[in-house]
């Protein structure tokens, strides 16, 4: 490998990305263009590059010839809807970070017609069978039939199979689960199994939401740090 025209064999040599000239076997190594795609994931696909049991994965839906991209977060095999892909690992980490608190909106078809008590319980929080406290930010009824219904759940954190475990704790069967939005980005009219590149406006909107969330999180953290602990007793000499 050559760095700025000089040979180097140290793989830990620091470089300034976008500034340093790097060649491997005489071929210049440039920065890969950042890519941001969205998929309407069908039910039954695994959110992984490879599956040791040979099951079809979400990568079967991406066009051939693309540079490698990783999924931003996950949807389990039985879940459907909006799934992001990118080769921008820093951006992906910000989208999925707990402190980003980007709203993720899901529509769930459940095997019952919920009353107000169930919806309030999901918002107040439930204890999963594994002993983990889980709650939704908001829940509302979308429509109902005689035996089942659709509800909308908004999460601002991403715990493993959170919605399914919440409803299971309430004795409610999930028939379908679809993610319809991540922050300001909506699934919209993208058909099942289709992919497309995010528009510049969509990418800008998500970045703006991430900045706002980061500022809010920082402000709330400083407020908590500055608030005195009322349980502490002050001792005077």
Tell me the catalytic residues: 76
* SS3 category, 144: strand
Q: Cβ–Cβ contacts within 10 Å for residue 109, how many?
A: 17
Of 207, 225, 179, 233, the closest CA to residue 42 belongs to 179
Helices (H), ranges, the chain: 89-96, 116-124, 162-169, 200-226
* SS3 category, 118: helix
CA 100, distance to chain mean position in Å, is 10
CA atoms within 13 A on the CB side of 207: 11
**What residues pair up with 182 in beta bridges, in sequence order?**
104, 185
**What residues pair up with 143 in beta bridges, in sequence order?**
150
3-state helix, strand, coil in the chain (%, to 5): 25, 30, 45
């Amino acid at each position: 490998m050559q760095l700025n025209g000089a040979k180097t064999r140290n793989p830990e040599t620091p470089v300034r990305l976008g500034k340093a000239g790097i060649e491997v076997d005489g071929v210049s190594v440039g920065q890969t263009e950042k890519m941001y795609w969205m998929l309407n994931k069908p039910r039954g696909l695994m959110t992984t590059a490879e599956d040791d049991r040979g099951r079809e994965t979400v990568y079967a839906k991406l066009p051939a010839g693309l540079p490698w991209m990783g999924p931003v977060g996950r949807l389990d095999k039985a879940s459907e809807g909006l799934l992001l892909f990118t080769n921008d690992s820093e951006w992906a980490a910000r989208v999925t970070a707990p402190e980003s608190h980007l709203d993720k909106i899901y529509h769930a078809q459940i095997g019952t017609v919920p009353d107000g008590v169930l919806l309030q319980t999901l918002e107040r929080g439930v204890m999963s069978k594994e002993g983990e406290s889980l709650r939704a930010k908001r829940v509302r009824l979308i429509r109902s039939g005689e035996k089942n219904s659709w509800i909308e759940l908004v999460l601002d954190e991403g715990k493993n199979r959170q919605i399914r475990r919440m409803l299971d704790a309430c004795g409610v069967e999930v028939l379908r689960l679809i993610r319809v939005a991540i922050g300001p980005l909506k699934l919209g009219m993208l058909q099942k199994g289709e992919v497309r590149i995010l528009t510049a406006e969509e990418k800008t909107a998500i970045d703006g939401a991430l900045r706002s969330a980061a500022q809010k999180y920082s402000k709330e953290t400083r407020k908590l740090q500055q608030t005195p602990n009322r349980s502490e007793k002050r001792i005077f000499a």
